[in-house]
Structure 1
Amino acid sequence: MKTKIIGLTGGIGSGKTTIARYFESLGIPVYIADDEAKKILYTPEVVAELVEKFGNNIFTDGIPDRTKIAEIVFKQPEKLAVLNSIIHPKVGEHFKKWITENTGKLFVIKETAILFESGSYKDCDAVILVTAPIEVRVDRVMQRDGVTKDKVLERMANQWDDEKKAALSNYIIDNTDLESAKKQVVKIVKLVNSL
């Protein structure tokens, strides 16, 4: 029996990680790609590539500074593409190892912000999109990251909009209200279990 890979994605502030953690609480293995990307950012191999591609101005005390990197990449899409080309293949390799550790499970969740943008949705057996109204998402990110509305909108501009993502998704969770979203998760788990 092949373990099914269920992609879980959503725009910034949609609450996809909260939804991923809820799947996890139901006993489903969950891979959070962003967590792994953060770890990979500090490996010697990646640090060397970052110096080569971005110079030393993205470092603080010799360590990659995620705030400085975000300042650059969210204003310059071509720089974001360079960063993604360094990080994402390594996350992909790590995910392959993780999948072998979860062989025998009916399905696993792969949570990633740029599932569609990276093309990795093609490797999934199904995709869940987490959505919420733009105003809700902007408020969440402003509170979470302590950034301005303009900064949030700048980041959103680098992601596909929900309409485009929805057209390629098998399931959609409206995460305006968490309790309602949790009920939607339970329903999806039942549906995926019966595939």
Structure 2
Amino acid sequence: MTGPMIIGLTGSIGMGKSTVAQMFADEGVPIFDADAAVHVLQGPGGALVAQIEALFPGTTDEKGVDRQKLGPAVLGNPDALKQLEALIHPAVGAMRMDFLEDNKAAPMILFDIPLLFEKSGAAGVDHVIVVSATEDDQRERVLRRPGMTVDKFEKIKSLQMPDEEKRKRADFVIDTSRPLEETRQQVQNTIEKLKASLA
């Protein structure tokens, strides 16, 4: 195999994916976070700010893209969303290629992709890790977020593949309904198994 093994990390909202991604980073695994890349592209001085303003006037300011204004401009409007995605996807793809180049000597790298199965990103990875938790834990975590409502949570959930289905498709499942130390142990065990498969 040339280049690093590529691991796709995914999980529905509130499952603890960011926590698990950080644990992989703590173990020295380089991580490409697609959401973080989008924030850079749309943040202050971001590469896509001017183009987004041209497409959706009034949705940006000196801080970059104002998500509160851009959201209503594209949500529920498939054509507008397509236009936005046509800008973002190639730019994120280019950042991912740079990341791959920078980390080509690493044994494994992790792509943090929230909608891995929904957007068919599973094709570009060697193994998929799904972060999961009980339904009660998920609901409780998400509803603690500022500005979150039950209605909003149900809408987001309806756009995501059911957790049970994700678990079936995963090569590894990390359960975050357990104490943090147990979750960390699962991460370390998974890394060991992946390293063993490289040997």
Fold shared by both chains (TM-score > 0.5): yes
**For residues 59-78 of structure 1, what are the structure 2 equivalents within 5 Å?**
59=60, 63-71=64-72, 73=74, 75-76=75-76, 78=78
**For residues 1-195 of structure 1, what are the structure 2 equivalents within 5 Å?**
1-42=2-43, 46-56=48-58, 58-59=59-60, 63-71=64-72, 73=74, 75-76=75-76, 78=78, 79-177=80-178, 178-195=180-197
Letter in 1 for 2:189: K
CA–CA separation in structure 2 for the residues paired with 1:128 and 1:80: 28
Range that drifts further, 78-87 or 24-33: 78-87
SS at match of 2:6: strand
- Asked whether the equivalents of residues 29 and 109 of structure 2 are also in contact (C-alpha less than 8 Å), the reply is yes
Q: Mind listing any 5+ residue stretches in structure 2 that lack a counterpart?
A: none
Q: TM-score, normalised by structure 2?
A: 0.84
Q: Mind listing any 5+ residue stretches in structure 1 that lack a counterpart?
A: none
Q: CA deviation at 1:126?
A: 0.4
CA–CA separation in structure 2 for the residues paired with 1:41 and 1:128: 28
Q: TM-score, normalised by structure 1?
A: 0.86
CA–CA separation in structure 2 for the residues paired with 1:170 and 1:7: 10
CA–CA separation in structure 1 for the residues paired with 2:62 and 2:104: 41
What's the C-alpha RMSD, in Å, of the aligned pairs?
2.3
Q: CA deviation at 1:152?
A: 1.8
